[in-house]
Structure 1
């Protein structure tokens, strides 16, 4: 845990695998998770529509187990967004959202 899902337009200024590696590392560097528990993946979109002046987009979803403080989630969100800004164009639409996963419902094997 956590599951990091990067949704993005196909025309990124950075290779998707590089983005996955950078976001994965950034998630670890937040100090909230052990490296061996982080799972990061990316999904590219061919069809999308953005606001005026936007060339592409990246949206990072961080699915984490419930129990973290609001401050911890804010720190993670800000840390991930700062990472995106480093590798993207100013014309890209960048966003991050943190989702709590319920201990009573989540299952894995």
Structure 2
């Protein structure tokens, strides 16, 4: 845990694999997770519409087991957003959201 899903327009100013690595490392640097538990992946979109002036978009969804404080989630989302800003254009739409996964219903093999 966590599962980090990066959804993005196909015309990124950075290679998707580089973005995956940078976000993966930023999540580790939050000191909330062990490196071997972080799972990061990216999904590229060819068809999308953005508001006026948008060049592209990146949205990061972070799914973590419930139990972290609001302050920890805020710190994580801010850290990931700052990482995105480093590698993206000012005209890109950037967003991050943290989702809790309930222990009682989460299953993995």
- Do they superpose with TM above 0.5? yes
Once residues 105 and 13 of structure 1 are traced to their aligned partners in structure 2, the CA distance between those partners, rounded to angstroms, is 38
Query: Are 1:12 and 2:8 counterparts?
Result: no
Structure-2 residue corresponding to 1:88: 88
Q: Which runs of 5+ in 2 are unaligned?
A: none
Q: CA deviation at 1:37?
A: 0.1
User: How many residue pairs were aligned?
Assistant: 109
RMSD: 0.3
> Normalization by structure 1: what TM-score?
1.00
Residues 1-109 of structure 1: matches in 2 within 5 Å?
1-109=1-109
Cα deviation per residue 1:60-90 (whole Å; 9 max; x = unaligned)? 0000000000000000000000000000000
Cα distance, 1:3 vs structure 2: 0.1
| 2-structure distance, mates of 1:8, 1:106 | 26
TM-score, normalised via structure 2 length: 1.00
1:47-71 deviation per Cα after TM superposition (whole angstroms, max 9, x unaligned)? 0000101000000000000000000
Report the Cα offset of residue 107 of structure 1: 0.4
Aligned structure 1 segments of 4 or more residues deviating by more than 3 angstroms: none
